[in-house]
């Protein structure tokens, strides 16, 4: 139903700082630039938008998936580009878990980025994009007051699947998109960063207009107001705005990637 994260819009206190980090160090291509806004493309199907805003920022957490066979090279590229990898309390920078590996680092606004790779993700389905070989934006963190109520609403509206279902943390998954529903009282790993509520706009990809119709019917059933166009849907749930857009990202990609929650 939901295929992927298509766009992530954040505020920044410095467009120049965004350029130095995302364009010079991470080498994301620029797709639009003005005095107070810049768009970069971590992958073909995902745009990140930074808008200059003269207000305090709450940093967010987001994560990119790279091919497992490329992970060690990507870590070397990050370090070669002068990116400081964050350490776990025991001093290590790379974490190896049952199904993969990851590293964390921060941008100039203090946002907590993660690069991760899973052994189960099939390679050759999506082209690795750019210098960092990014496959897709996998995670975006949504700190909320009530994790259980929020995840339930996401399941009811989007048919999201749940993973790592804890009282203070859950992955709510649609396609390649993993919404990290986290309690504002649970700190982000590995540096125990407070999970503040960020000002952000997230756009999810949908494969066709029928999906938007189905979700808008569900919103009506819950008396949640929305704005709808031919290929767009916009609404707010609690703390966050949601945009859905019909895109060319194929509905089959998550199962071709063999993501656990995409299996029949
Ligand atoms: Fe993460």
- Please write the tens of the pLDDT for every residue from 61-90: 999 999 999 999 999 999 999 999 999 999
Ligand 1 centroid vs 113 CA: distance in angstroms? 8
In the chain, the number of structural domains is 1
Beta carbons within 10 angstroms of residue 222's beta carbon: 10
Residues 245, 228: Cα–Cα separation, whole Å: 10
Residues 132, 22: Cα–Cα separation, whole Å: 11
Ligand 1 centroid vs 61 CA: distance in angstroms? 7
- Residue with the two structure tokens 């965004």: 18
Residues 40, 27: Cα–Cα separation, whole Å: 9
Please check whether residue 31 lies inside any domain of the structure: yes
* pLDDT confidence tier of residue 91, bands split at 50, 70 and 90: very high
Q: Is the pLDDT of residue 261 over 90?
A: no
Please check whether residue 204 lies inside any domain of the structure: no
Q: Could you tell me the CATH number of the domain that includes residue 135?
A: 3.10.180.10
Ligand 1 centroid vs 188 CA: distance in angstroms? 8
* pLDDT confidence tier of residue 263, bands split at 50, 70 and 90: low
Q: Which domain holds residue 72?
A: 4-199
Considering the chain, what percentage of its residues have pLDDT values greater than 70?
Answer: 99
Ligand 1 centroid vs 176 CA: distance in angstroms? 14
* pLDDT confidence tier of residue 46, bands split at 50, 70 and 90: very high
Q: Say if CB 169 and CB 183 are below 8 A apart.
A: yes
Please check whether residue 63 lies inside any domain of the structure: yes
Considering the chain, what percentage of its residues have pLDDT values greater than 90?
Answer: 97
Ligand 1 centroid vs 199 CA: distance in angstroms? 18
Ligand 1 centroid vs 1 CA: distance in angstroms? 23
Residues 96, 116: Cα–Cα separation, whole Å: 10
Please check whether residue 36 lies inside any domain of the structure: yes
Please check whether residue 210 lies inside any domain of the structure: no
Mean pLDDT, rounded, for 120-125: 96
> Can you give the length of the chain in residues?
264
Q: What pLDDT, on a 0 to 100 scale, did the predictor assign at position 238?
A: 86
Q: What pLDDT, on a 0 to 100 scale, did the predictor assign at position 9?
A: 97
Please check whether residue 246 lies inside any domain of the structure: no
Please check whether residue 164 lies inside any domain of the structure: yes
Ligand 1 centroid vs 227 CA: distance in angstroms? 31
Q: What pLDDT, on a 0 to 100 scale, did the predictor assign at position 262?
A: 77
Residues 49, 15: Cα–Cα separation, whole Å: 10
Helices (H), 142-257: 147-158, 209-221, 253-256
Residues 176, 161: Cα–Cα separation, whole Å: 11
Ligand 1 centroid vs 74 CA: distance in angstroms? 17
Please check whether residue 238 lies inside any domain of the structure: no
């Amino acid at each position: 139903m939901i295929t992927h994260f298509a766009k992530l819009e954040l505020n920044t206190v410095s467009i120049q700082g965004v350029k130095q980090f995302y364009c010079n160090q991470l080498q994301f291509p620029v797709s639009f630039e003005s005095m107070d806004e810049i768009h970069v493309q971590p992958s073909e199907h995902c745009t990140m938008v930074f808008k200059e805003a003269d207000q305090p920022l709450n940093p967010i957490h987001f994560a990119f998936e790279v091919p497992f066979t490329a992970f060690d090279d990507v870590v070397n590229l990050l370090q070669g580009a002068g990116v400081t990898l964050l350490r776990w309390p025991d001093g290590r920078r790379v974490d190896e878990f049952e199904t993969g590996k990851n590293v964390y680092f921060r941008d100039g606004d203090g946002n907590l980025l993660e690069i991760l790779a899973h052994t189960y993700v099939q390679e050759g389905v999506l082209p690795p994009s750019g210098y960092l070989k990014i496959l897709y934006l996998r995670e975006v963190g949504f700190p909320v007051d009530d994790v259980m109520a929020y995840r339930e609403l996401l399941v009811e509206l989007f048919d999201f699947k749940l993973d790592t279902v804890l009282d203070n943390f859950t992955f709510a998954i649609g396609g390649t998109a993993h919404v990290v529903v986290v309690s504002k009282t649970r700190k982000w790993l590995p540096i125990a960063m407070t999970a503040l509520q960020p000002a952000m706009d997230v756009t999810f990809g949908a494969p066709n207009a029928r999906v938007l119709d189905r979700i808008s019917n569900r919103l009506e059933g819950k008396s949640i107001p929305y704005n709808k166009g031919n290929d767009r849907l916009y609404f707010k749930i609690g703390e966050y705005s949601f945009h859905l857009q019909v895109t060319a990202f194929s509905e089959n990609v998550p199962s071709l990637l063999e993501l656990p929650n995409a299996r029949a």
